[in-house]
Structure 1
Amino acid sequence: MASRPVVQQQNRGVEGVPGGIKQKNMAAEGRNRRALGDIGNMVTVRGAEGKQQQLPQVSRPLTRGFCAQLLANAQAAAADKNKKPIAVNVGGVAANQAAKVPRKQPAQKKVTVKPKPEAVIVISPDTEEEVEVKEKKSRRKAAAEDSSRKTYTATLTARSKIQDIDAGDLYNELAVVEYVEDIYKFYKEAENESRVRDYMDSQPEINVKMRAILVDWLIEVHHKFELTSETLYLTINIIDRYLAARTTSKRELQLVGISAMLIASKYEEIWAPEVNDFVCISDRAYTHQQVLEMEKRILGELEWYLTVPTLYVFLIRFIKAAAIPAAADPAMENMVYFLAELGMMNYPTMVMYCPSMIAASAVYVARCTLHKTPAWNETLKLHTGYSEAQLMDCAKLLVTCHFEAAAGQKLQVIYRKYSNPQKGGVAELPPAKFLLAPPAP
């Protein structure tokens, strides 16, 4: 209990006496110096007798590489501080002086280029012949290159005359521009499979005139029912293929016609006519059951093969090629269809020529009738596959059909149809008689 106040007084005396504060500050100062001494490698330790001893200073051997490294570090620091150079002393030697020590560079070897020995050419009679042969070969090569260049130029010139008929349908998905050339190439190969052969000799009760009357009447029925053009051309194709495969009596010929149109309507139309419509249009010459039985007979004979390249599929492509580069030409289109229907009704034309040639000839005769120049060009030749000379015989038959229709024969349905102002009255135009003239000697 008596020692407690003494301790407090001693504590207060230390804090109150100025000497106590000085000792405290000196102690702190001693610790700071010791820390600075550590940084400068001046650390001291107490000896055995209590005396302070200085540690030996660690020295690093000054090498040329080390001096260069120090100099690079000092220059980098100086660049950061306003690009002021800083001199660094290492072991009493300035770093910049150490950097000035020249390095020995390896001696560069001199490269000597030896001149190539000049070849001495000795001209002998044999070598003169070889030189002449080489010169001839070079002349032939130059001539071949010149001829190939001329051929290439001629090809480019010919191609420049061909118009791209599908350029306006690039964004029309229904035009299938990417595949249209392949599609028509397939049509040209497949049209011979469904081509009609001459069957009149195998039909004892049917002749060419009866067939023409049937086709003329079916064109009128087609017009009254307002069916599509595809239906008409497929109907005639079905009739001819059936008659070529099976003998038919005179009484059943009209039944074959309306049954074939019923099949084509079901194949092509969205809203096909009913069986009763065909019974009524035939003035009830046949019953409902007879039409269905004939429909079944025709499909069985044709083996349900209805997807065929008819005349119509070639007409739409060739008309498109004929209307280039001009826009839509209604007179041209109506004239082509007029001539095509005349050719379809004419039995010799249908038997002698394939559908693509009849379509191309109809386009050619239409251009001649409308005085289009030139009558045949490279674009039409490319897309039809026929030259003007190849079409001349078929074209003459079509011109003859046009001339006979205008002369006022009994079968006038096609002529009246295309004499209508809605069709441009193209049937009333004078036929291209100059095509019937014999060629000049």
Structure 2
Amino acid sequence: MRPHKKMNQQISTAASKKGAITRSKNAANTSKSEGKESELPKRKAEGSPPNDKTLKRSAFGDITNARESNITSQDVKKLSKKIIVKKADPKGNEKANMKVTVTVPNKSTAIQPVLKTHTTLKKFPVSTKPKVVRQKNEEVSTKSGTSQVLEKEIKEDISVISEQQEINLSSKDNSGNSSLYVSALDDTQNDGSNSHDEPQMLEFPILEQAPSPKASICKSSTTARLPEGVEDFDKETLNDPFQVSLYAMDIFNYLKEREVLFIVKNYMVRQPSISQWMRSLLVDWMVEVQESFELNHETLYLAVKLVDLYLDKIVVGKETLQLIGAAAMFIASKFDERIPPLVEDFLYICDGAYTHSELIKMETNLLKVVDFNLGIPLSYRFLRRYARCAKLSLSTLTLARYILESSLLEYSFVSESSSKMAAAALLLALKTKLLGGWTPTLQYYSGYKLEDIGHLAHQLNAMLHKKPKTALTTVRNKYSHKIFFEVAKIPLLENLDL
């Protein structure tokens, strides 16, 4: 015998003793079982639970932090089973058989994730008690004894079916692909879920049509009926996100409510060192600063308001009056401007009358006096809102601005409401340019009737008729420029007829 054949026989004998299958035996077995599928055990992870207790879980996992709260209708149908329960006859006869359909919720049902949609989710209670559906033309006794017997028998049958269904479902899931690796298995068996006898709150996503943004218009514009002759300006600008049409009416109503927090009283009686004329000189200088630095008009109006609020509470000397104005302009610039001027710029505009530390100290004191509350309603913003709602031209709005800015120099208007001053200035501009009077649209959006602002319009007209003083010409020269339509040169009304 050849050496290699002898060696093969030895290897075959040793392999047969150890129970191993050689290639020759494997070929023989394959020929014998030809036509039949070979059933080899599939691999499974070592740390996985047994097949009879393996549960499949959803791909997303428990992303809703909910337990057993999303049972689909298909799962309920799978768990639905018909059983036969004996029914007691009301007349005391022998018990008849009745087919009863009992729905058994399965604790091992995989939790389906509820994804967020643009629609709302409604919650409603769903009872997991077994539902008994009777066939037609059959009655069940309502006696207490009979109902207790039925309830006890149904509970026993439910417990048996529930256990059987859990085993069947788990084995069915694993039989399809027993090599599926199950890791991070959620413990859905003992998580404190409700029993079969207690109702359970389930959450189901209810698809509803999302409301259109055009349908949800602000209350003051469309939900509430507008007076006759009033145009809905906010509705017309609803598609422009920069107009904030949904909230514009509420914003200005809120600003009007805040006006009571910034009322300035007659503080000149408590200021022995300064006078109304000195205040007018200060405001005229602040207008010049606003023009020199090309600041916003809101910055000027806020600074003047801060000066009045400070003088209403603190007694000052005339040597610090300009320092208060400079600090107010500095604060307003940082509050409203994108690129506010530097401290050195204000020191330069004051011609070196104050030092760096003095300006910073006055800024700190002013902020403490106003309690850092800089969200002050300004007449300039009210005026712009009223003119836009009435769809007035820019030249008419500029004339109203000239009237309103001139009123900043007059101490007699310090105690007046900012929104009311804006309405009176706009009324005088309309009368001056012969564009009519106070329309229903202006009355609606401003909240003021003609009799509420008529006296202020007369006072403003009288102010414009005063002989201009050489020391207070900044506002007039400003609005005599072509950029501002030369509105300061428009002839004034001799007699204002409202």
Question: TM-score, normalized by length of structure 1?
Answer: 0.60
Alignment of 1:199 with 2:262, yes or no, is no
Larger radius of gyration: 1
The residue number in structure 1 matching 2:464 is: 402
CA separation in 2, counterparts of 1:198 and 1:403? 24
The residue number in structure 2 matching 1:29 is: none
The residue number in structure 2 matching 1:341 is: 405
CA separation in 1, counterparts of 2:242 and 2:470? 41
CA separation in 2, counterparts of 1:283 and 1:296? 21
Q: Secondary structure of the residue that 2:462 maps to in structure 1?
A: helix
Offset at 1:408?
Answer: 5.3
Alignment of 1:423 with 2:484, yes or no, is yes
Q: Secondary structure of the residue that 1:159 maps to in structure 2?
A: coil
2:320 aligned residue (228, 237, 252): 252
1:164 aligned residue (224, 232, 241): 232
The residue number in structure 2 matching 1:208 is: 276
Residues 256 and 294 in structure 1, CA contact (< 8 A), matched pair in contact too: yes
The residue number in structure 2 matching 1:372 is: 435
- Structure 1's 408 and 347: CA in aligned 2 closer, same or farther, altered over 3 A? closer
CA separation in 2, counterparts of 1:390 and 1:285? 44
Residues 281 and 471 in structure 2, CA contact (< 8 A), matched pair in contact too: no
CA separation in 1, counterparts of 2:408 and 2:310? 16
The residue number in structure 2 matching 1:412 is: 473
Q: Secondary structure of the residue that 1:201 maps to in structure 2?
A: helix
Offset at 1:313?
Answer: 2.0
AA paired with 1:216? D
Residues 365 and 432 in structure 1, CA contact (< 8 A), matched pair in contact too: no
CA RMSD of aligned residues (A): 1.8
The residue number in structure 1 matching 2:331 is: 263
AA paired with 2:349? I
CA separation in 2, counterparts of 1:272 and 1:347? 28
Alignment of 1:309 with 2:377, yes or no, is yes
Offset at 1:322?
Answer: 3.0
Residues 322 and 363 in structure 1, CA contact (< 8 A), matched pair in contact too: no
CA separation in 2, counterparts of 1:158 and 1:165? 11
CA separation in 2, counterparts of 1:396 and 1:224? 32
The residue number in structure 2 matching 1:104 is: none
Residue ranges of structure 2 left out of the alignment (5+ in a row): 1-223
AA paired with 1:246? I
1:280 aligned residue (343, 348, 361): 348
Question: TM-score, normalized by length of structure 2?
Answer: 0.53
Q: Secondary structure of the residue that 2:260 maps to in structure 1?
A: coil
- Structure 1's 308 and 429: CA in aligned 2 closer, same or farther, altered over 3 A? same
CA separation in 2, counterparts of 1:400 and 1:160? 34
1:383 aligned residue (445, 448, 451): 445
Sequence identity percentage: 33
The residue number in structure 1 matching 2:396 is: 332
Q: Deviations over 1:95-143 (max 9, x none)?
A: xxxxxxxxxxxxxxxxxxxxxxxxxxxxxxxxxxxxxxxxxxxxxxxxx
Task: Identify the structure with the greater helix proportion.
Answer: 1
Offset at 1:159?
Answer: 3.0
Alignment of 1:174 with 2:242, yes or no, is yes
